[in-house]
Amino acid sequence: MRQYVTLECTECKSKNYRTSKETRGSSKLELSKYCRYCRKHTKHKERKK
Ligand SMILES: [Zn+2]
């Protein structure tokens, strides 16, 4: 089953990306993504709806 999660910038807390992931056996997502508010790459963590 797939779950939709929102990726939130850990620096400015804006929710920049939406993605889906496999729920089974997956750990928390943590990705380096470009944040247009910070105007640089920052860590983005998953945030459930
Ligand atoms: Zn940011």
pLDDT at 49: 64
Q: For 9-47, how does the pLDDT look when each residue is reduced to its tens digit (9 = 90+)?
A: 999 999 999 998 887 766 788 999 999 999 999 999 998
- pTM of the entire predicted model: 0.80
Q: CA 49 to CA 39: how far, in whole Å? A: 25
Tokens describing residue 10: 């850990």
Total domain count, the chain: 1
CA–centroid distance, 47 to ligand 1, in Å, is 14
- Give distance in angstroms: CA of 30 to centre of ligand 1: 14
* Domain enclosing residue 25, as ranges: 2-47
**Ligand 1 center–CA 37 separation, angstroms:** 5
Pairing status of strand 2-9 against strand 30-35: unpaired
Residue 23's CATH number? 2.20.28.120
Cα 23 to averaged position of ligand 1 atoms, centre (Å):
26
Would you state the pLDDT for residue 28?
A: 80
